[in-house]
Amino acid sequence: MASLLMVRMREDSPRLAPRLITVMVVSACLAAFLYQIGYSNEGHV
């Protein structure tokens, strides 16, 4: 998905696409990390 987004946006804005993909990846990792913390805290009360 990220590669498809990069190919589509490369012609329009070569600087914005990598930043947007980086933000998407970081936010996904952060969401997964926070979900894991909440899940582990919920299970070990």
User: What tens digit of pLDDT does each residue of 22-43 get?
Assistant: 999 999 999 999 888 877 776 6
Question: How many folded domains does the chain comprise?
Answer: 1
Residue pair 26/3 in contact (Cβ under 8 Å)? The answer is no
- Map residue 1 onto helix, strand or coil: coil
pTM for this structure? 0.54
DSSP result, 14-38: TTHHHHHHHHHHHHHHHHHHHHHHH
Q: What is the mean pLDDT of the chain?
A: 77
Domain range for residue 8? 2-43
Residue labelled with tokens 């805290």 = 41
* C-alpha angle 39-26-12 in degrees, rounded to nearest 5: 145
Give the whole-angstrom CA distance, residue 8 versus residue 39: 36
